A and B are shown apart, each in its own frame.
Chain A
Amino acid sequence: MEFPVSRYRNLTVLLLVILAQLLLLGYQVRTNQDVRLIRVWAITAVTPTARLLEAGRSNTVGVLENYFLLVGVRERNRQLEAELGKLKLENQYLKSELATADRARALNAFQSRSPSRTIAARIIGTGTGTNSKVVFVDRGSTSGVLHGMAVITPDGIVGKVLAVYPTASQVMLITDPSFAAGVVSQKNLVHGTLKGQGHSTCLVDYVQNEEKVEQGELFFTSGDDRVFPKGLPVGAANVVRAGRTFKEIYIVPSGFQSGLEEVLIVLEGVHQQLPAAQASAQAAPLLPRPPETPADAAAQKTQTPLVLNTDADRMREQYKRIGEAQGHVFGGPGTPNFNIKPPAQPKPVQKPAGNAPEGSPEKPPENPVEGPPPTRP
Protein backbone atom coordinates (compact mmCIF):
# COMPACT_ATOMS: atom_id res chain seq x y z
CA MET A 1 0.00 0.00 0.00
CA GLU A 2 1.31 3.42 -0.95
CA PHE A 3 1.23 6.17 1.64
CA PRO A 4 -0.42 9.42 0.55
CA VAL A 5 2.70 11.32 1.64
CA SER A 6 4.92 9.41 -0.75
CA ARG A 7 2.32 9.55 -3.48
CA TYR A 8 2.04 13.32 -3.22
CA ARG A 9 5.67 13.81 -2.37
CA ASN A 10 6.15 17.04 -4.35
CA LEU A 11 3.07 18.66 -2.93
CA THR A 12 3.98 17.57 0.59
CA VAL A 13 7.45 19.04 0.33
CA LEU A 14 6.05 22.23 -1.13
CA LEU A 15 3.61 22.58 1.76
CA LEU A 16 6.33 21.86 4.29
CA VAL A 17 8.66 24.47 2.79
CA ILE A 18 5.91 27.07 2.71
CA LEU A 19 4.82 26.17 6.22
CA ALA A 20 8.37 26.56 7.46
CA GLN A 21 8.62 29.99 5.90
CA LEU A 22 5.23 30.97 7.25
CA LEU A 23 6.37 29.98 10.74
CA LEU A 24 9.55 31.99 10.22
CA LEU A 25 7.49 34.94 9.09
CA GLY A 26 5.04 34.59 11.95
CA TYR A 27 7.85 34.42 14.47
CA GLN A 28 9.37 37.64 13.16
CA VAL A 29 6.09 39.52 13.02
CA ARG A 30 4.94 38.29 16.41
CA THR A 31 8.17 38.88 18.32
CA ASN A 32 9.19 41.88 16.21
CA GLN A 33 12.63 40.31 16.02
CA ASP A 34 14.69 39.50 13.01
CA VAL A 35 16.34 36.20 12.18
CA ARG A 36 19.66 37.90 12.06
CA LEU A 37 21.84 34.96 11.16
CA ILE A 38 20.37 34.48 7.69
CA ARG A 39 20.56 38.16 6.92
CA VAL A 40 24.15 38.40 8.13
CA TRP A 41 25.11 35.50 5.87
CA ALA A 42 23.44 37.00 2.84
CA ILE A 43 24.68 40.53 3.40
CA THR A 44 28.19 39.40 4.22
CA ALA A 45 28.18 37.52 0.94
CA VAL A 46 26.71 40.29 -1.20
CA THR A 47 27.93 43.63 0.18
CA PRO A 48 31.68 42.98 -0.03
CA THR A 49 31.20 42.09 -3.68
CA ALA A 50 29.14 45.22 -4.23
CA ARG A 51 31.79 47.21 -2.41
CA LEU A 52 34.52 45.75 -4.58
CA LEU A 53 32.49 46.48 -7.69
CA GLU A 54 31.93 50.05 -6.60
CA ALA A 55 35.59 50.59 -5.73
CA GLY A 56 36.65 49.03 -9.00
CA ARG A 57 34.17 51.12 -10.95
CA SER A 58 35.13 54.42 -9.34
CA ASN A 59 38.86 53.71 -9.75
CA THR A 60 38.86 52.27 -13.23
CA VAL A 61 36.29 54.54 -14.83
CA GLY A 62 38.64 57.50 -14.48
CA VAL A 63 41.60 55.57 -15.87
CA LEU A 64 39.60 54.18 -18.76
CA GLU A 65 38.11 57.56 -19.53
CA ASN A 66 41.55 59.11 -19.57
CA TYR A 67 42.85 56.31 -21.76
CA PHE A 68 40.09 56.71 -24.27
CA LEU A 69 40.53 60.45 -24.20
CA LEU A 70 44.22 60.00 -25.02
CA VAL A 71 43.27 57.77 -27.90
CA GLY A 72 40.88 60.52 -28.87
CA VAL A 73 43.71 63.05 -28.85
CA ARG A 74 45.50 61.09 -31.52
CA GLU A 75 42.30 60.77 -33.50
CA ARG A 76 41.73 64.50 -33.18
CA ASN A 77 44.78 65.23 -35.24
CA ARG A 78 43.25 63.43 -38.18
CA GLN A 79 39.54 63.99 -37.90
CA LEU A 80 37.95 67.22 -36.75
CA GLU A 81 34.58 65.66 -36.12
CA ALA A 82 36.07 63.04 -33.88
CA GLU A 83 37.75 65.83 -31.96
CA LEU A 84 34.44 67.53 -31.38
CA GLY A 85 32.86 64.34 -30.09
CA LYS A 86 35.74 63.56 -27.80
CA LEU A 87 35.77 67.08 -26.42
CA LYS A 88 32.10 66.79 -25.67
CA LEU A 89 32.73 63.55 -23.87
CA GLU A 90 35.56 65.15 -21.94
CA ASN A 91 33.41 68.10 -21.06
CA GLN A 92 30.67 65.84 -19.80
CA TYR A 93 33.14 63.80 -17.80
CA LEU A 94 34.71 66.88 -16.22
CA LYS A 95 31.31 68.24 -15.36
CA SER A 96 30.43 65.05 -13.55
CA GLU A 97 33.83 65.06 -11.81
CA LEU A 98 33.30 68.67 -10.78
CA ALA A 99 29.86 67.86 -9.48
CA THR A 100 31.32 64.98 -7.49
CA ALA A 101 34.05 67.22 -6.08
CA ASP A 102 31.52 69.91 -5.20
CA ARG A 103 29.36 67.36 -3.49
CA ALA A 104 32.27 66.01 -1.49
CA ARG A 105 33.34 69.54 -0.54
CA ALA A 106 29.81 70.46 0.51
CA LEU A 107 29.60 67.29 2.56
CA ASN A 108 32.89 68.09 4.31
CA ALA A 109 31.87 71.69 4.95
CA PHE A 110 28.53 70.62 6.35
CA GLN A 111 30.18 67.95 8.47
CA SER A 112 32.62 70.46 9.98
CA ARG A 113 30.03 73.10 10.80
CA SER A 114 27.25 70.82 11.94
CA PRO A 115 27.09 70.51 15.73
CA SER A 116 26.12 66.85 15.39
CA ARG A 117 28.86 64.23 15.17
CA THR A 118 28.57 62.49 11.82
CA ILE A 119 30.39 59.98 9.70
CA ALA A 120 30.49 60.00 5.90
CA ALA A 121 29.30 56.89 4.07
CA ARG A 122 28.98 55.86 0.44
CA ILE A 123 25.94 54.10 -0.98
CA ILE A 124 26.95 50.75 -2.39
CA GLY A 125 23.66 49.05 -3.20
CA THR A 126 19.89 49.09 -3.13
CA GLY A 127 17.43 46.72 -1.53
CA THR A 128 15.83 43.93 -3.49
CA GLY A 129 12.30 44.12 -4.80
CA THR A 130 10.82 46.41 -7.39
CA ASN A 131 9.27 48.79 -4.84
CA SER A 132 12.23 48.76 -2.51
CA LYS A 133 13.23 52.08 -0.94
CA VAL A 134 16.20 50.89 1.05
CA VAL A 135 19.88 51.24 0.27
CA PHE A 136 23.09 49.82 1.65
CA VAL A 137 25.96 52.05 2.80
CA ASP A 138 29.56 51.01 3.32
CA ARG A 139 29.66 51.78 7.04
CA GLY A 140 28.68 49.22 9.62
CA SER A 141 29.04 48.40 13.27
CA THR A 142 32.83 48.54 13.01
CA SER A 143 32.49 52.25 12.22
CA GLY A 144 30.24 52.87 15.20
CA VAL A 145 26.94 52.86 13.32
CA LEU A 146 23.94 51.76 15.37
CA HIS A 147 20.39 50.80 14.52
CA GLY A 148 18.06 53.78 14.23
CA MET A 149 20.66 56.43 13.50
CA ALA A 150 19.67 59.28 11.22
CA VAL A 151 21.10 59.51 7.72
CA ILE A 152 21.33 62.96 6.16
CA THR A 153 22.96 65.06 3.47
CA PRO A 154 23.68 68.79 3.63
CA ASP A 155 20.43 69.31 1.72
CA GLY A 156 18.20 67.42 4.10
CA ILE A 157 17.33 64.14 5.73
CA VAL A 158 17.67 60.94 3.73
CA GLY A 159 16.52 58.12 5.98
CA LYS A 160 17.43 56.12 9.01
CA VAL A 161 19.54 53.07 9.68
CA LEU A 162 17.36 49.99 9.59
CA ALA A 163 19.90 47.28 10.25
CA VAL A 164 23.59 47.25 11.01
CA TYR A 165 26.08 44.64 9.90
CA PRO A 166 29.82 44.55 10.41
CA THR A 167 30.76 46.00 7.05
CA ALA A 168 27.56 47.64 5.89
CA SER A 169 24.28 49.09 7.05
CA GLN A 170 20.81 49.05 5.59
CA VAL A 171 19.16 52.47 5.36
CA MET A 172 15.44 53.00 4.91
CA LEU A 173 14.86 56.06 2.73
CA ILE A 174 12.25 58.62 3.71
CA THR A 175 10.29 57.70 0.59
CA ASP A 176 9.64 54.18 1.91
CA PRO A 177 5.96 53.67 2.78
CA SER A 178 6.83 52.49 6.29
CA PHE A 179 9.00 55.52 7.09
CA ALA A 180 7.81 58.15 9.57
CA ALA A 181 9.45 61.13 11.28
CA GLY A 182 8.34 64.22 13.19
CA VAL A 183 8.49 67.47 11.25
CA VAL A 184 7.61 71.10 11.85
CA SER A 185 6.91 73.87 9.37
CA GLN A 186 9.28 76.80 9.31
CA LYS A 187 6.89 79.72 9.20
CA ASN A 188 3.85 78.68 11.18
CA LEU A 189 5.53 76.03 13.33
CA VAL A 190 2.91 73.44 12.50
CA HIS A 191 3.86 69.97 13.71
CA GLY A 192 3.14 66.86 11.67
CA THR A 193 4.38 63.39 10.83
CA LEU A 194 6.36 62.81 7.67
CA LYS A 195 5.39 59.59 5.87
CA GLY A 196 6.92 57.99 2.80
CA GLN A 197 4.66 57.21 -0.13
CA GLY A 198 6.77 54.81 -2.14
CA HIS A 199 7.48 57.45 -4.76
CA SER A 200 9.27 60.75 -5.02
CA THR A 201 7.05 62.81 -2.70
CA CYS A 202 6.28 62.40 1.00
CA LEU A 203 3.14 63.13 2.97
CA VAL A 204 2.99 65.28 6.10
CA ASP A 205 0.16 63.70 8.04
CA TYR A 206 -1.82 64.57 11.18
CA VAL A 207 -1.99 68.30 10.50
CA GLN A 208 -5.44 69.64 11.36
CA ASN A 209 -7.35 71.37 8.60
CA GLU A 210 -7.51 74.48 10.76
CA GLU A 211 -3.73 74.79 10.88
CA LYS A 212 -2.14 77.22 8.48
CA VAL A 213 0.44 75.83 6.08
CA GLU A 214 1.41 77.68 2.94
CA GLN A 215 2.48 76.19 -0.35
CA GLY A 216 6.24 76.31 -0.65
CA GLU A 217 6.70 76.48 3.11
CA LEU A 218 9.76 74.64 4.29
CA PHE A 219 9.57 71.77 6.73
CA PHE A 220 12.27 70.84 9.21
CA THR A 221 12.71 67.94 11.57
CA SER A 222 11.05 68.58 14.91
CA GLY A 223 13.16 66.21 16.98
CA ASP A 224 10.02 64.62 18.41
CA ASP A 225 10.91 61.20 17.00
CA ARG A 226 14.24 61.11 18.91
CA VAL A 227 15.94 59.95 15.72
CA PHE A 228 16.52 63.11 13.74
CA PRO A 229 17.95 66.13 15.55
CA LYS A 230 15.68 69.15 15.42
CA GLY A 231 16.30 71.70 12.70
CA LEU A 232 17.39 69.54 9.76
CA PRO A 233 15.73 70.47 6.47
CA VAL A 234 13.19 68.01 5.08
CA GLY A 235 11.70 69.71 2.03
CA ALA A 236 9.22 72.25 0.75
CA ALA A 237 5.45 71.81 0.67
CA ASN A 238 4.56 71.07 -2.92
CA VAL A 239 0.83 70.48 -2.52
CA VAL A 240 -1.28 71.78 0.37
CA ARG A 241 -4.99 71.06 0.47
CA ALA A 242 -7.67 70.33 3.02
CA GLY A 243 -8.52 66.67 3.55
CA ARG A 244 -11.34 64.88 5.30
CA THR A 245 -9.79 64.97 8.75
CA PHE A 246 -6.28 66.22 8.24
CA LYS A 247 -4.60 68.41 5.71
CA GLU A 248 -2.98 66.73 2.73
CA ILE A 249 0.50 68.17 2.53
CA TYR A 250 2.91 66.66 0.04
CA ILE A 251 6.51 67.70 0.17
CA VAL A 252 9.44 67.11 -2.15
CA PRO A 253 12.37 65.77 -0.11
CA SER A 254 15.32 68.12 -0.32
CA GLY A 255 17.87 65.49 0.72
CA PHE A 256 17.92 63.84 -2.69
CA GLN A 257 18.39 67.04 -4.70
CA SER A 258 22.10 66.60 -5.37
CA GLY A 259 21.91 62.90 -6.09
CA LEU A 260 22.48 60.17 -3.57
CA GLU A 261 26.03 58.88 -3.58
CA GLU A 262 27.53 60.07 -0.32
CA VAL A 263 25.58 60.54 2.89
CA LEU A 264 26.28 61.35 6.52
CA ILE A 265 25.27 59.09 9.37
CA VAL A 266 24.53 61.04 12.54
CA LEU A 267 26.42 59.33 15.34
CA GLU A 268 25.52 61.91 17.98
CA GLY A 269 22.74 64.31 17.13
CA VAL A 270 22.47 67.85 18.48
CA HIS A 271 19.19 69.72 18.23
CA GLN A 272 19.32 73.06 16.43
CA GLN A 273 16.96 75.99 16.16
CA LEU A 274 14.90 76.41 13.04
CA PRO A 275 16.10 79.24 10.80
CA ALA A 276 12.89 81.15 11.44
CA ALA A 277 13.20 80.63 15.17
CA GLN A 278 16.72 82.05 15.08
CA ALA A 279 15.47 85.15 13.34
CA SER A 280 12.67 85.64 15.81
CA ALA A 281 15.08 85.26 18.73
CA GLN A 282 16.14 88.87 18.16
CA ALA A 283 13.50 90.72 20.18
CA ALA A 284 11.76 93.52 18.33
CA PRO A 285 12.16 96.94 20.03
CA LEU A 286 9.22 97.54 22.31
CA LEU A 287 7.47 100.84 22.69
CA PRO A 288 7.63 102.58 26.08
CA ARG A 289 4.71 102.27 28.45
CA PRO A 290 1.91 104.80 27.76
CA PRO A 291 2.04 107.92 30.02
CA GLU A 292 -0.40 107.95 32.87
CA THR A 293 -0.38 111.74 33.49
CA PRO A 294 0.28 114.77 31.26
CA ALA A 295 3.49 115.41 33.22
CA ASP A 296 4.69 111.93 32.41
CA ALA A 297 3.83 112.56 28.79
CA ALA A 298 5.93 115.75 28.78
CA ALA A 299 8.80 113.97 30.50
CA GLN A 300 8.56 111.09 28.04
CA LYS A 301 8.59 113.59 25.20
CA THR A 302 11.86 115.09 26.42
CA GLN A 303 13.30 111.59 26.78
CA THR A 304 12.48 110.74 23.25
CA PRO A 305 15.70 111.08 21.29
CA LEU A 306 15.52 113.46 18.39
CA VAL A 307 15.49 111.69 15.13
CA LEU A 308 17.43 113.62 12.54
CA ASN A 309 16.14 112.56 9.23
CA THR A 310 17.13 115.36 6.85
CA ASP A 311 20.11 117.65 6.32
CA ALA A 312 17.95 120.63 7.38
CA ASP A 313 17.20 118.87 10.67
CA ARG A 314 20.86 118.23 11.29
CA MET A 315 21.83 121.83 10.44
CA ARG A 316 19.13 123.20 12.70
CA GLU A 317 20.38 121.03 15.55
CA GLN A 318 23.97 122.16 14.93
CA TYR A 319 23.02 125.86 15.02
CA LYS A 320 20.96 125.29 18.12
CA ARG A 321 23.94 123.78 19.91
CA ILE A 322 26.23 126.61 18.74
CA GLY A 323 23.74 129.14 20.08
CA GLU A 324 23.41 127.31 23.38
CA ALA A 325 27.19 127.06 23.74
CA GLN A 326 27.54 130.84 23.31
CA GLY A 327 24.43 131.77 25.28
CA HIS A 328 22.92 133.29 22.20
CA VAL A 329 19.22 133.54 21.71
CA PHE A 330 18.22 133.30 18.12
CA GLY A 331 15.97 136.23 17.11
CA GLY A 332 17.73 138.47 19.61
CA PRO A 333 20.52 140.97 19.01
CA GLY A 334 23.93 139.92 17.73
CA THR A 335 25.17 136.96 15.80
CA PRO A 336 26.81 133.88 17.23
CA ASN A 337 30.12 132.60 15.91
CA PHE A 338 29.13 129.83 13.58
CA ASN A 339 32.76 128.78 13.02
CA ILE A 340 33.31 127.25 16.40
CA LYS A 341 32.87 123.58 16.76
CA PRO A 342 29.78 122.86 18.81
CA PRO A 343 30.18 120.51 21.77
CA ALA A 344 29.37 116.96 20.93
CA GLN A 345 25.97 115.88 21.99
CA PRO A 346 26.10 112.91 24.34
CA LYS A 347 24.33 109.90 22.98
CA PRO A 348 21.02 109.22 24.63
CA VAL A 349 21.16 106.24 26.96
CA GLN A 350 19.15 103.39 25.46
CA LYS A 351 16.91 101.99 28.14
CA PRO A 352 15.29 98.62 27.71
CA ALA A 353 11.84 99.87 26.98
CA GLY A 354 9.09 98.00 28.66
CA ASN A 355 11.47 95.78 30.59
CA ALA A 356 11.88 98.06 33.56
CA PRO A 357 10.45 96.60 36.73
CA GLU A 358 7.22 98.00 38.02
CA GLY A 359 7.67 100.99 40.33
CA SER A 360 11.35 101.45 39.63
CA PRO A 361 12.32 105.10 39.70
CA GLU A 362 13.23 106.38 36.29
CA LYS A 363 16.02 108.94 36.18
CA PRO A 364 15.38 112.05 34.14
CA PRO A 365 17.74 112.36 31.21
CA GLU A 366 20.77 114.47 31.65
CA ASN A 367 20.72 117.72 29.82
CA PRO A 368 23.15 117.24 26.94
CA VAL A 369 24.08 120.93 26.76
CA GLU A 370 25.14 123.04 29.69
CA GLY A 371 23.64 126.50 29.99
CA PRO A 372 20.26 128.09 30.07
CA PRO A 373 17.42 126.31 28.36
CA PRO A 374 16.94 127.49 24.83
CA THR A 375 14.00 129.63 24.06
CA ARG A 376 12.02 129.30 20.94
CA PRO A 377 12.78 132.18 18.59
Chain B
Amino acid sequence: MNDYSEHLLLDKPRKTSSHFSVWVTLVVPFAAILFQVYVPLFFQYLSYLELPLLVTVYFSLMRRQPLAGTFIGAGIGLVQDSLSHQPLGMFGIVKTLVGYFAGNVSMRFEVDNPVLRFILGFFFFFFHQFFYWVLTRALLGQQLGFDLTQTLMLGVLNALVALPLFHFLDKLKETS
Protein backbone atom coordinates (compact mmCIF):
# COMPACT_ATOMS: atom_id res chain seq x y z
CA MET B 1 0.00 0.00 0.00
CA ASN B 2 1.55 3.30 -1.05
CA ASP B 3 1.18 6.71 0.53
CA TYR B 4 -1.62 7.71 -1.81
CA SER B 5 -3.79 4.71 -0.99
CA GLU B 6 -3.01 5.16 2.67
CA HIS B 7 -4.10 8.70 2.31
CA LEU B 8 -7.38 7.60 0.73
CA LEU B 9 -8.10 4.72 3.07
CA LEU B 10 -7.96 5.99 6.60
CA ASP B 11 -7.23 3.65 9.44
CA LYS B 12 -9.61 5.23 11.86
CA PRO B 13 -12.92 6.99 11.56
CA ARG B 14 -12.62 10.65 10.72
CA LYS B 15 -13.86 13.08 13.27
CA THR B 16 -13.89 16.23 11.19
CA SER B 17 -17.36 16.51 9.80
CA SER B 18 -18.34 19.55 7.77
CA HIS B 19 -21.03 21.89 8.92
CA PHE B 20 -23.52 23.83 6.92
CA SER B 21 -25.87 26.57 7.88
CA VAL B 22 -29.54 25.78 8.20
CA TRP B 23 -30.51 27.61 5.03
CA VAL B 24 -27.95 25.68 2.99
CA THR B 25 -29.20 22.40 4.43
CA LEU B 26 -32.77 23.32 3.48
CA VAL B 27 -32.38 25.36 0.32
CA VAL B 28 -29.91 23.15 -1.54
CA PRO B 29 -32.07 19.97 -1.45
CA PHE B 30 -35.14 22.09 -2.23
CA ALA B 31 -33.37 23.66 -5.21
CA ALA B 32 -32.25 20.23 -6.41
CA ILE B 33 -35.82 18.95 -6.31
CA LEU B 34 -37.13 22.11 -7.95
CA PHE B 35 -34.53 21.69 -10.68
CA GLN B 36 -35.76 18.16 -11.32
CA VAL B 37 -39.37 19.33 -11.44
CA TYR B 38 -39.00 22.47 -13.51
CA VAL B 39 -35.97 22.37 -15.79
CA PRO B 40 -36.86 19.20 -17.78
CA LEU B 41 -39.87 21.11 -19.09
CA PHE B 42 -37.49 22.99 -21.34
CA PHE B 43 -34.53 20.61 -21.56
CA GLN B 44 -35.97 17.13 -21.53
CA TYR B 45 -32.62 15.36 -21.49
CA LEU B 46 -31.86 16.98 -18.14
CA SER B 47 -34.53 14.78 -16.55
CA TYR B 48 -31.84 12.12 -16.37
CA LEU B 49 -29.88 14.25 -13.96
CA GLU B 50 -30.55 12.99 -10.43
CA LEU B 51 -29.63 16.13 -8.53
CA PRO B 52 -31.54 15.11 -5.37
CA LEU B 53 -29.44 11.94 -5.26
CA LEU B 54 -26.19 13.84 -5.74
CA VAL B 55 -27.16 16.27 -3.01
CA THR B 56 -28.00 13.36 -0.70
CA VAL B 57 -24.64 11.78 -1.41
CA TYR B 58 -22.80 15.05 -0.85
CA PHE B 59 -24.39 15.94 2.47
CA SER B 60 -24.06 12.38 3.73
CA LEU B 61 -20.40 12.29 2.77
CA MET B 62 -19.67 15.64 4.32
CA ARG B 63 -21.48 15.00 7.58
CA ARG B 64 -19.49 11.79 8.01
CA GLN B 65 -22.24 10.28 10.11
CA PRO B 66 -24.35 7.35 8.92
CA LEU B 67 -27.23 8.54 11.08
CA ALA B 68 -27.25 11.97 9.49
CA GLY B 69 -27.02 10.39 6.06
CA THR B 70 -29.97 8.15 6.88
CA PHE B 71 -32.21 11.05 7.79
CA ILE B 72 -31.03 13.27 4.95
CA GLY B 73 -31.73 10.48 2.47
CA ALA B 74 -35.11 9.71 3.97
CA GLY B 75 -36.17 13.35 3.95
CA ILE B 76 -35.11 14.11 0.39
CA GLY B 77 -36.49 10.80 -0.80
CA LEU B 78 -39.90 11.38 0.78
CA VAL B 79 -40.19 14.85 -0.75
CA GLN B 80 -39.24 13.35 -4.08
CA ASP B 81 -41.86 10.66 -3.55
CA SER B 82 -44.46 13.32 -2.89
CA LEU B 83 -43.84 14.76 -6.34
CA SER B 84 -43.96 11.42 -8.12
CA HIS B 85 -46.99 9.27 -8.83
CA GLN B 86 -45.66 6.28 -6.93
CA PRO B 87 -46.63 5.52 -3.34
CA LEU B 88 -44.63 7.36 -0.67
CA GLY B 89 -41.54 5.49 0.41
CA MET B 90 -40.03 4.26 -2.85
CA PHE B 91 -37.44 7.00 -3.26
CA GLY B 92 -37.41 7.32 0.53
CA ILE B 93 -36.14 3.80 1.13
CA VAL B 94 -33.58 3.93 -1.67
CA LYS B 95 -32.18 7.28 -0.65
CA THR B 96 -32.15 6.25 3.02
CA LEU B 97 -29.84 3.42 2.07
CA VAL B 98 -27.74 5.69 -0.13
CA GLY B 99 -27.38 8.19 2.70
CA TYR B 100 -26.46 5.51 5.19
CA PHE B 101 -23.84 3.92 2.97
CA ALA B 102 -22.42 7.28 1.94
CA GLY B 103 -22.11 8.21 5.62
CA ASN B 104 -20.30 4.95 6.29
CA VAL B 105 -17.97 5.38 3.34
CA SER B 106 -17.06 8.87 4.48
CA MET B 107 -15.79 7.48 7.77
CA ARG B 108 -13.24 5.34 5.96
CA PHE B 109 -12.24 7.33 2.90
CA GLU B 110 -10.91 10.75 2.18
CA VAL B 111 -14.00 12.00 0.35
CA ASP B 112 -12.56 15.33 -0.72
CA ASN B 113 -10.63 13.55 -3.44
CA PRO B 114 -12.17 14.22 -6.92
CA VAL B 115 -11.42 10.71 -8.20
CA LEU B 116 -13.16 9.14 -5.26
CA ARG B 117 -16.05 11.53 -5.59
CA PHE B 118 -16.45 10.54 -9.23
CA ILE B 119 -16.42 6.85 -8.34
CA LEU B 120 -18.86 7.34 -5.48
CA GLY B 121 -21.17 9.44 -7.68
CA PHE B 122 -21.20 6.71 -10.31
CA PHE B 123 -21.63 3.89 -7.82
CA PHE B 124 -24.44 5.50 -5.85
CA PHE B 125 -26.32 6.47 -9.03
CA PHE B 126 -26.17 2.89 -10.26
CA PHE B 127 -27.14 1.56 -6.83
CA HIS B 128 -30.02 4.03 -6.64
CA GLN B 129 -31.41 3.15 -10.07
CA PHE B 130 -30.98 -0.58 -9.62
CA PHE B 131 -32.47 -0.71 -6.12
CA TYR B 132 -35.39 1.49 -7.18
CA TRP B 133 -36.06 -0.93 -10.04
CA VAL B 134 -35.91 -3.88 -7.66
CA LEU B 135 -38.29 -2.20 -5.23
CA THR B 136 -40.72 -1.27 -7.99
CA ARG B 137 -40.89 -4.85 -9.17
CA ALA B 138 -40.87 -6.44 -5.74
CA LEU B 139 -43.12 -4.15 -3.75
CA LEU B 140 -45.41 -2.65 -6.38
CA GLY B 141 -45.40 -5.50 -8.88
CA GLN B 142 -44.75 -3.18 -11.81
CA GLN B 143 -42.92 -4.72 -14.75
CA LEU B 144 -40.46 -1.96 -15.50
CA GLY B 145 -37.47 -2.52 -17.75
CA PHE B 146 -33.87 -1.95 -16.67
CA ASP B 147 -31.54 -0.77 -19.38
CA LEU B 148 -28.07 -1.61 -18.09
CA THR B 149 -26.13 0.26 -20.77
CA GLN B 150 -28.21 3.37 -20.39
CA THR B 151 -27.91 3.27 -16.61
CA LEU B 152 -24.14 2.90 -16.79
CA MET B 153 -23.86 5.82 -19.19
CA LEU B 154 -26.14 7.97 -17.07
CA GLY B 155 -24.08 6.99 -14.05
CA VAL B 156 -20.97 8.36 -15.71
CA LEU B 157 -22.79 11.55 -16.70
CA ASN B 158 -24.17 12.06 -13.21
CA ALA B 159 -20.74 11.43 -11.72
CA LEU B 160 -19.29 14.03 -14.07
CA VAL B 161 -21.91 16.52 -12.94
CA ALA B 162 -21.20 15.59 -9.33
CA LEU B 163 -17.64 16.92 -9.49
CA PRO B 164 -18.40 20.61 -10.15
CA LEU B 165 -21.55 20.39 -8.03
CA PHE B 166 -19.64 19.06 -5.01
CA HIS B 167 -16.94 21.64 -5.62
CA PHE B 168 -19.57 24.38 -5.57
CA LEU B 169 -21.20 22.98 -2.45
CA ASP B 170 -17.81 22.86 -0.74
CA LYS B 171 -17.81 26.62 -0.86
CA LEU B 172 -21.02 26.70 1.17
CA LYS B 173 -19.39 24.95 4.12
CA GLU B 174 -19.28 26.87 7.33
CA THR B 175 -15.74 27.74 8.34
CA SER B 176 -15.25 27.37 12.06
Does B bind A?
yes
Q: Which residues of A contact B (CB under 8 A)?
A: 9-10, 13-14, 17-18, 21-22, 24-25, 28-29, 34-35, 38-39, 41-43, 45-46, 49-50, 53-54, 123-132, 134-136, 162-163, 170, 172, 176-178, 198
Which residue of A is nearest B82, CB measured?
A42
Distance from B149 Cβ to chain A, minimum over Cβ atoms (Å)? 14
Name the contact of A28 in the complex, choosing from B37, B70, B80, B88 (C-beta under 8 A): B88
* Cα-based distance from A14 to B103 in the complex (angstroms): 12
Q: Which residues of B contact A35 (CB under 8 A)?
A: 88
CB interface residues, B 71-93, toward A, < 8 Å: 71, 74, 78-93
- B85 near A130: Cβ-Cβ < 8 Å: no
* Cα-based distance from A80 to B81 in the complex (angstroms): 53
Tally of A-B Cβ pairs under 8 angstroms: 132
Binary contact readout B45-86 vs A (1 if CB under 8 angstroms, 0 otherwise): 001101010000000000000110011001000111111111
Distance from B146 Cβ to chain A, minimum over Cβ atoms (Å)? 10
- B38 near A29: Cβ-Cβ < 8 Å: no
Bin chain B's interface residue count: 35 or more
- B144 near A177: Cβ-Cβ < 8 Å: yes
Question: Dominant SS at the B interface?
Answer: helix
Q: Which residues of A contact B40 (CB under 8 A)?
A: 126
Distance from B46 Cβ to chain A, minimum over Cβ atoms (Å)? 10
Which residue of B is nearest A170, CB measured?
B85
Q: Which residues of A contact B71 (CB under 8 A)?
A: 17
Name the contact of A130 in the complex, choosing from B50, B93, B145 (C-beta under 8 A): B50
Q: Which residues of B contact A (CB under 8 A)?
A: 30, 33-34, 36-38, 40-41, 47-48, 50, 52, 66-67, 70-71, 74, 78-93, 96-97, 100, 103-104, 129, 132, 139-140, 142, 144-145, 154
Distance from B130 Cβ to chain A, minimum over Cβ atoms (Å)? 12
- B52 near A50: Cβ-Cβ < 8 Å: no
Q: Which residues of A contact B82 (CB under 8 A)?
A: 38-39, 41-43
Which residue of A is nearest B53, CB measured?
A130
Distance from A31 Cβ to chain B, minimum over Cβ atoms (Å)? 11
Which residue of B is nearest A176, CB measured?
B85
* Cα-based distance from A9 to B140 in the complex (angstroms): 30
Distance from A292 Cβ to chain B, minimum over Cβ atoms (Å)? 65
Q: Which residues of B contact A9 (CB under 8 A)?
A: 67
Query: Nearest 5 CB-CB pairs, A to B?
Result: A42-B82, A25-B89, A28-B87, A125-B37, A21-B89
* Cα-based distance from A128 to B49 in the complex (angstroms): 10
- B80 near A128: Cβ-Cβ < 8 Å: yes
- B85 near A45: Cβ-Cβ < 8 Å: no
Distance from A76 Cβ to chain B, minimum over Cβ atoms (Å)? 29
A-B contact pairs, 12 of them (CB 8 A): A10-B66, A25-B88, A25-B139, A38-B78, A42-B79, A53-B38, A128-B33, A129-B132, A130-B48, A132-B85, A136-B83, A198-B145
Q: Which residues of B contact A24 (CB under 8 A)?
A: 87-89, 92
- A128 near B87: Cβ-Cβ < 8 Å: no
Q: Identify which of B36, B37, B74, B132 gathers the most chain A CB atoms within 10 Å of its CB.
A: B37
Contact flag A39-B142 (CB < 8 Å), given A17-B74, A125-B38, A127-B83: no
* Cα-based distance from A54 to B103 in the complex (angstroms): 36
Which residue of A is nearest B141, CB measured?
A29
* Cα-based distance from A344 to B70 in the complex (angstroms): 98
* Cα-based distance from A142 to B108 in the complex (angstroms): 52
Q: Which residues of B contact A126 (CB under 8 A)?
A: 36-38, 40-41, 47
